[in-house]
Chain A
């Protein structure tokens, strides 16, 4: 009997400790880190001690409600980056809007670049294009020229794909658009924040129950907080800004 109890205790402890790890919504490195570098970000942080980030996005980059703006991932990204880059003036401006296709987001791209002077654009897209069934070749072309333009004008890009949304998996066919985003990211040597795979991972490990249909906005806020922190980790890694090295000497 004793060994059994001991074994059960060990299993229980293991379960509790993994549950704690899951609560922290960690992302395995292989989902987050790539070889693509963010050189403009590195330069802006090291030389000018400032970092301007602009988020292009659809409705899934925003949250509704009075505290929606503060709890959506762009704001959480700003908080996380500010914490990890002390002495650097970090600003994150979100241009996310419900129902935007990739083409809609790049309509005013020249003006945005001039007005906001981003060092980094987090370009979240794909959901609306998939819902509307935009021609995949056209989607691809828009992404390709958008990334090129941003690079030319001195901004790095992180592409972010769709949310993992298990309830609507049989309604919105994402795979073609997700594949195209992965290929565009690879071709242009741009990091891809694979939100689809990361959220899928969180659901599988039990960090979040993304099948839940409830109105409760707590989960949504926690998911966005985790995404914000994960994007920050990706930026730090890809721009080679390991936390200690960037600290201003006192």
Chain B
């Protein structure tokens, strides 16, 4: 073992679960097409959205959980656990794909509106299951809103060596991650998608956020502590958030677009989500800096009953994420088959989040009943779950 292994704090940071839970709700709301409630989500008020929060926290918890496993049991065992997790996520993705295909096929049935003759052509594509399903299993064919889990799979798959390096030369690992990110912008690296194009979330770019999260978990956050809390950082963060807010307003109100100077537009556009634009990354950092500053780790409110639902959801992120994807399909289905009125959109959104909370509560209850909860006897044997899921 290397002598200088950074200490991993053992106390669980509830803020991680809280914000991951909130991110899961926002992702769900954004995934329901034409949902009026999605106007409350952060993507409408700045550059970054819930995906950034989700990926960052996933990197953080992955390092937290598997970092400890790597210290206690070594590289091989920790890697095996990570790969087991990858497999679980892969199976979950394929399961969701089945539900997606069922939803699409049902909705497409008897859809003959002449207005949409062109759009309906896409459904012919599903009439070649031999190709489509195999491409889906290879993670090349990823339907709308099913891009996050494949990204997560690739990130975790590459994680063992990164984690190993992070525990020895944290700064070097982070620097490596930044270099790869920069090279993506230079050389356009990305994975191929089916039927054409590339991955919507470029893993070579998004790894930056994941590795940065992991780096923070392994002591980076403490090293940054002073910088984050300095008044200068606060001012920069707030100014930047206001700037991003103003820019997004010009998207919602075309008349205000004239206030956007051309030289500025030329610098900032296009803001690529695929390649995790620097503006998006910076927006996430600014948000995170504010949260760290104004919401301390030991804030009493984190234990209050009001935040409990979000924290519960954050603790079971994979299950709740998958449930959210499923519920978004179900919501779309309900809008097509029953009603698409605004009232219905609100009902779907509220019921969906309620279902996510109820399920998270049930999972926690089951975990405790099995004696795997906090203080349970089998805590050590289930190290990959004890710190929450990665």
A212 in contact (CB, < 8 A): yes
> Which bucket holds chain B's interface residue count?
35 or more
B126 to chain A, nearest CB (A): 8
Count of chain A residues with Cβ under 8 Å from any Cβ of B? 55
- The verdict on A128 contacting B118 (CB below 8 Å), with A169-B332, A170-B144, A170-B145 known, is yes
Of residues 269 to 322 in B, which have CB atoms within 8 Å of A's CB atoms?
269-270, 273-274
A224 to chain B, nearest CB (A): 8
Whether the Cβ atoms of A140 and B197 lie closer than 8 Å is no
- Set of chain B residues within 8 Å of A134, measured between Cβ atoms: 196-197
- Set of chain B residues within 8 Å of A215, measured between Cβ atoms: 112-114
- Set of chain A residues within 8 Å of B193, measured between Cβ atoms: 133
A223 to chain B, nearest CB (A): 6
- Set of chain B residues within 8 Å of A169, measured between Cβ atoms: 33-34, 144, 332
- Set of chain A residues within 8 Å of B197, measured between Cβ atoms: 132-135
**Residue in contact with B114 in the complex, picked from A35, A183, A217, CB distance below 8 Å:** A217
**What's the dominant secondary structure at chain B's contact region?**
helix
Whether the Cβ atoms of A170 and B143 lie closer than 8 Å is yes
B116 in contact (CB, < 8 A): yes
- The verdict on A99 contacting B107 (CB below 8 Å), with A63-B114, A165-B116, A167-B116 known, is no
**Residue in contact with B115 in the complex, picked from A98, A179, A204, A220, CB distance below 8 Å:** A220
- Set of chain A residues within 8 Å of B195, measured between Cβ atoms: 132-133
A166 in contact (CB, < 8 A): yes
B280 to chain A, nearest CB (A): 13
Whether the Cβ atoms of A183 and B269 lie closer than 8 Å is yes
- Set of chain A residues within 8 Å of B270, measured between Cβ atoms: 140, 179-180, 183
Q: How far is the CA of A98 from the CA of B122 in the complex (A)?
A: 12
Interface flags for A24-56 (1: CB within 8 Å of B; 0: not) read 000000110111000000000000000000000
Whether the Cβ atoms of B340 and A171 lie closer than 8 Å is no
B92 in contact (CB, < 8 A): no
**Pairs A-B, 3 closest by C-beta atoms:** A59-B118, A169-B33, A133-B197
Residues on B close to A: CB < 8 A?
Answer: 33-34, 100, 103-104, 107-108, 110-123, 143-145, 193, 195-198, 200, 251, 253-255, 257-258, 260, 262, 265-266, 269-270, 273-274, 329, 332, 335-336, 340, 342
18 contacts between A and B (CB under 8 A): A30-B253, A59-B118, A60-B116, A63-B114, A64-B114, A163-B119, A165-B116, A166-B33, A169-B33, A170-B100, A170-B145, A170-B329, A172-B122, A176-B200, A180-B270, A183-B270, A187-B269, A204-B342
Q: A170-B332, A172-B119, A210-B115 are in contact. List 12 more A-B contacts (CB 8 A).
A: A63-B114, A98-B117, A169-B33, A173-B200, A183-B269, A203-B340, A213-B110, A213-B112, A213-B336, A219-B113, A220-B114, A223-B115
